[in-house]
Each structure stands twice: as C-alpha cells, then as structure tokens.
Amino acid sequence: MLPGSALEFLNWDWSRIESHFRDLRSRNLSGANIAAWLADWSRLKELIEEGQSRLYVAKTLDTADPQREQRYLRYLEEIYTPAEQQDQKLKQKLLASGLEPEGFAIPLRNLRAQSELYRDANLPLLEQEKKLSSDYDRIRGNQTVEWEGEEITISRLFLELEEPDRDRRARAWRLGRARQLQDREALNDLWLRFLDLRSELARNADLAEYRSYRWRQLLRFDYTPDDCRRFHEAIATVVVPAAVNVADRRKRALGISSLRPWDASADKNGREPLRPFVAVQELIDKGSAIFHHVDPVLGRYFDSMQSEKLLDLDNRKGKAPGGYNEPFAAARRPFIFMNAVGTAGDVETLLHEAGHAFHVFESASLPYYPQLQVPMEFAEVASMAMELLASPFLTTDHGGFYTDEQAPRARIDHLERILWFWPSMAVGDAFQHWVYEHPDAARDPANCDRTYAELVGRFMPFIDWSDLAQELRTGWQRVLHFFQVPFYYVEYGLAQLAAVQIWKNALEDQARAVRRYRSALRLGYTVPLAELYQAAGARFAFDPKALGEAVALIESTVERLEQRRGWDSNPR
Ligand SMILES: [Zn+2]
C-alpha cells in the first residue's frame, strides 16, 4: 500500500518504492485493467514528485541551512533519479500496449516524446543540473548590502528604486549592481558548467545541439525556433515603438532628458511610492478579498492555502530569490513562495502566483498525473490573466489595496510595464537562441556579455546605459531562467498576449470571461495547446496583428485612466 501523504512517503527507502515499480511492471495490461494500472502508476509518480517539491520548497525557504540542501540532494540521488529510470520502463510498457485510455491522447503523445528522448546516461546529468541550480540560488540568495548602517537583501534595497529622490535611487541601484558584480566570476564559472552539461545531454540523446534537446524535453509540439524569431520581429515592429512612447511620457513627466536604469520604477509624477501593505498578513487578507470578488470559488481556494499553510510570502535573508508556485502533486495542492517587501509589484506577484495555484485546484479532479502536467505556455496564461481579471477589484471598497486615487496609478503602471515586458522577453528569448546556436562562442562569457548588450540596445533602446557598460553587459547573469530553466521565457510572451485577450473579453463580460478561464484551467493537459487557449477565450498567436490589437487596447486604457474619464472602480 502506498502512503496517504508525501510527508509519510519521504520516510520510505528506495527498496520499498522499487517494489511498487516492480508490481506495476509485472501486470499484464488490458482494456479491463488499464484504468486501475494508470491510477496506481499516477499515485506513485505523484508521491515521488511531491517528495521532491516538498524538499525543494524547504531548501528555497532557507538556502543557508546546509541540512535542507543535503536532504534535497540525497532525495534526488537515492529516490528521484532511480525512479526516473523505472518510470521509463513503465512508459515503454504503456506505449507498447497500444491501449488508449479516455482523455489520454495528449498525455500519450507526451509520454512517447519523453520516452524517445530518454537515455540512462542522462540521468546523472539531469541530477547534476538540479544541483547546479541550487548553486545559483545560493549565490543570489546570499547577496546582501549594507545600506544606511543595516545589512539588507538586494530585493529590499531595490525598494529604494521607487523613491522620488533621483540621487537616492541612483545610489541604491549602483550599490546593488556593484554587489551583484562581485559574483560575476562565480556566475561565469557556473554558466560554463551548465553549458557543458547541456551539450552532453544533447549528444547523449543523439541530437546535434541542446536547443533540439530542450525543445523535445519541454514538449514544444506547437511552435518552432523560427516562430520565436517571428515573434521577436513582431515585437520589434509593433511593441517597441509603444514602449518608447511609454519611456518618452515618463521622461517628460519626470522632467529628465534621458531615462536611466534607476528611473524605471519610481512614480513618474514624483509621488511617494505605493506601499499597498506592510505586514504579510495584510497582503493575504486583501488578496483574499480580491479573489472572492473575482469568483467565490477562487476566493475559497486561496483561503484554504492560508489555513493549510501553503503560503510563505515575506522576504528574509537566506531565502532564494524570486517567487514561484509549486504544485504538490499527490495532495493536489499548490504552494506559493514569494519575497514580498510591501510594493505594488508584490501585489501583482501574488495575483500572478495565485493564478498558477488556481490551476492546480481546478485541474485537481483529473485522474492521472500526466493530465496534470500543464504546458508552461498555458500555465502562464492562468497566472497572467489573473493579474488582469483581478484588476477591477484592487480598491479598498472591494477590500483591496488602493484608494480610488491610487488604483488608476497602479493599473497604469501595470499596463505600461506590459508594454516594456514584451521587449525584455524578446531580449531574453533571443539571447538564449543565440547561446545555443553558438555553443562554442557562448562558452566565453565576454561574448554573452556583448550579445546581451546588443539585444538590449535593439529591443529596449529607451533606457540610457551610458557609463554603465559592465552593469548592462552582465544583465544576463541576473536572469535565473537562463541558468535554471533554459528557454522557459517565450512562454511568458505568448501567455501575456493571451492574458490581454482574456482581459478584453472581461471588459465586455467579466463573469463570462472568468467562467471560460476556469473551465480552461480544469482541462489540465487533456487537449492540444491551441485548444486550451481557445477554451480560455484567447488565440495562440505570434503575429503582429494579435500583438497590435493588444497594444492598442493597453494604450487606450492607459489614456482613459490617465484622464480619469470613465474610470469606474466597479466591475462591469
Ligand atoms: Zn508564472
């Protein structure tokens, strides 16, 4: 009998787990028993995945505790990696049976691709890749600075970038970047180890280069590297001019002649920064009120996360950087990790991660694990659409964070940052295509520096980097995705586009848009990607037309909010 929870499962040793794999391998599959076999396999797989997730969460909560790290690494070696090997045998068994259980066409396609890519020789490398990711977290997590007599994290320091005093912002920005530059060599070394490991993964799988390997590993059936290039082009044509306009408006309002990197986050009208909450409990309570307005069921999901201790939101020294939502596969529950310090950006992050969390809740009733493995291209729709679906309820009269005065400001910031986001996404995606198209050149970090700077110059010409060459060039070192989850970047750009389409639907009929959103989340990964988008009321698209419509809607809404005409804190 398998244990009822992953916490219990974490006490199991490998031989006990292996006997369950043996049992699954020994059964003869038929139409009559396939459902039961899949259910048993799923249950085992979910426990293995959740075991890893639990230990991963524990270690990112305190990267300074070597025992948490050790526990995680030991699990990878003793349980997770051997399980992958056993799992491959079960995939082959299922595929060889020719059986196609209901709702399983997409999972079978995915399992077939995974099975073809699988090599025994890659197991230790994939494990090593996870260990290198821990090294990256540790380096970034330990970056602190002394600011006004106090030792603080870089996340906390960068709160200063929202202050109206421009000199103060510049000082904070330079201090933070100087601290990050101290780890430049360490990150360059780590980078080489990642690149070498990734070439080897591809070679072992009989592929000429890592991008082909990664494409298959990420199960990207619906678009090619050429589509990504077309998307970058469309962004350059359609979004960059709009992003330049945002920068020009900001410069005019701030009365400055050039926009420096420390001028991007402060209020353009020189007001004190929005500080929507102080204590983390306030973030949770107000977040809850907002989700209840979006949909009472979503509100209850969020409340259950609080009561089940599935939220860890405040910024502390030693916590890994960033924010994420981690599904606990066996419990069918999500966990949200954040580094909240009290900013408007933190509110957006909570809305975002909650969107991911709602995906876990909505798809929880699907019976088999492979149906729950949602493609990232759609997972980010769940999160990014939630940022916009929640936007009518941000005001205090809905129990939210902002006065009627502040809410338009927060919304304008958010929308303008979407226009800056697509170009920065194009930089990040194009950078990675360059890296893996030029694996030898990319082994010299100086080439990465140069390429990154060129791409920033092309897609984000509105930021003035004069006399900041080092800081500009090393920007790629601060993007954890390049190190930890390569090529996981274009998903955000695709999903942002869909999120704006869903928001457009919501402006016409909020209740219907939320209904479609929820029903698409419930599908898990049982229909093709384009159908998931369609179910949510969006179109899976790369083209200038779709981008142009999204940009136009954002621009007209910003204009309306700026004029305060037609601003209505009540949802339509
Ligand atoms: Zn996300």
The three-state (H, E, C) secondary structure of 428-460, written as one string: HHHHHHHHHHCCCHHHCHHHHHHHHHHHHHHHC
The structure tokens listed for 469 are 């060459």
Q: What's the CA-to-centroid distance between 446 and ligand 1, angstroms?
A: 30
Task: Give the model's pLDDT for residue 193.
Answer: 98
Q: What's the CA-to-centroid distance between 335 and ligand 1, angstroms?
A: 13
CA 523 from chain centre, in angstroms, equals 20
pTM of the model: 0.94
Q: What's the CA-to-centroid distance between 323 and ligand 1, angstroms?
A: 9
Q: Look-up: residue for tokens 């991660």?
A: 353
Q: What's the CA-to-centroid distance between 12 and ligand 1, angstroms?
A: 32
Residue 420 CB contacts under 8 Å (≥ 6 apart), including other chains: 243, 246, 264, 460
Residue 337, strand partner residues: 312, 324
Q: What's the CA-to-centroid distance between 326 and ligand 1, angstroms?
A: 10
pLDDT in tens, 452-480: 999 999 999 999 999 999 999 999 999 99
Mean local confidence (pLDDT), 276-294? 97
The average confidence (pLDDT) of the chain is: 95
Residue type at 294 in one-letter notation:
V
- Is the pLDDT confidence value at 103 over 90? no
- Is the pLDDT confidence value at 572 over 60? no
Q: Specify the DSSP element, H or E, that contains 51.
A: helix 34-61
Q: What's the CA-to-centroid distance between 380 and ligand 1, angstroms?
A: 5
Task: Give the model's pLDDT for residue 335.
Answer: 98
Q: What's the CA-to-centroid distance between 356 and ligand 1, angstroms?
A: 7
B/e letters for 62-80, b = 16+ CB within 10 Å, e = fewer, are bbeeeebbebbbebbeebb
φ/ψ of 242, rounded to 5, equals -65, -35
- Percent of residues, the chain, with pLDDT higher than 70: 98
CA atoms within 13 A on the CB side of 534: 5
Mean local confidence (pLDDT), 412-438? 97
Q: What's the CA-to-centroid distance between 355 and ligand 1, angstroms?
A: 8
Task: Give the model's pLDDT for residue 142.
Answer: 85
Q: What's the CA-to-centroid distance between 28 and ligand 1, angstroms?
A: 40
- Percent of residues, the chain, with pLDDT higher than 90: 92
Q: What's the CA-to-centroid distance between 6 and ligand 1, angstroms?
A: 24
Task: Give the model's pLDDT for residue 8.
Answer: 95
Name the nearest CA neighbour of 425 among 529, 531, 496: 496
Q: What's the CA-to-centroid distance between 18 and ligand 1, angstroms?
A: 34
Q: What's the CA-to-centroid distance between 525 and ligand 1, angstroms?
A: 17
Q: Look-up: residue for tokens 């969107």?
A: 355
Predicted confidence band of residue 565 (pLDDT cuts 50, 70, 90): very low
Task: Give the model's pLDDT for residue 156.
Answer: 85
- Is the pLDDT confidence value at 351 over 70? yes
Q: What's the CA-to-centroid distance between 161 and ligand 1, angstroms?
A: 23
- Is the pLDDT confidence value at 390 over 80? yes
Q: What's the CA-to-centroid distance between 51 and ligand 1, angstroms?
A: 22
Q: What's the CA-to-centroid distance between 381 and ligand 1, angstroms?
A: 8
Predicted confidence band of residue 378 (pLDDT cuts 50, 70, 90): very high
Q: What's the CA-to-centroid distance between 383 and ligand 1, angstroms?
A: 6
Q: What's the CA-to-centroid distance between 354 and ligand 1, angstroms?
A: 9
Q: What's the CA-to-centroid distance between 491 and ligand 1, angstroms?
A: 9
pLDDT in tens, 50-87: 999 999 999 999 988 999 999 999 999 999 999 999 99
Q: What's the CA-to-centroid distance between 129 and ligand 1, angstroms?
A: 21
Q: What's the CA-to-centroid distance between 244 and ligand 1, angstroms?
A: 26
Q: What's the CA-to-centroid distance between 352 and ligand 1, angstroms?
A: 6
Mean local confidence (pLDDT), 145-169? 93
Q: How far apart are CA 511 and CA 505, in angstroms?
A: 10
Q: What's the CA-to-centroid distance between 125 and ligand 1, angstroms?
A: 26
Task: Give the model's pLDDT for residue 569.
Answer: 41
Q: What's the CA-to-centroid distance between 357 and ligand 1, angstroms?
A: 10
Q: What's the CA-to-centroid distance between 27 and ligand 1, angstroms?
A: 39
- Is the pLDDT confidence value at 132 over 80? yes
Q: What's the CA-to-centroid distance between 347 and ligand 1, angstroms?
A: 14
The structure tokens listed for 347 are 């509110």
DSSP 146: E
Q: What's the CA-to-centroid distance between 253 and ligand 1, angstroms?
A: 32
Q: What's the CA-to-centroid distance between 216 and ligand 1, angstroms?
A: 21
Q: What's the CA-to-centroid distance between 21 and ligand 1, angstroms?
A: 33
Q: Is there a contact between 506 and 513 (Cβ–Cβ < 8 Å)?
A: yes
- Is the pLDDT confidence value at 421 over 60? yes
Q: What's the CA-to-centroid distance between 353 and ligand 1, angstroms?
A: 6
Q: What's the CA-to-centroid distance between 379 and ligand 1, angstroms?
A: 7
- Is the pLDDT confidence value at 239 over 80? yes
The structure tokens listed for 335 are 């966990």
Mean local confidence (pLDDT), 323-332? 96
Q: What's the CA-to-centroid distance between 332 and ligand 1, angstroms?
A: 18
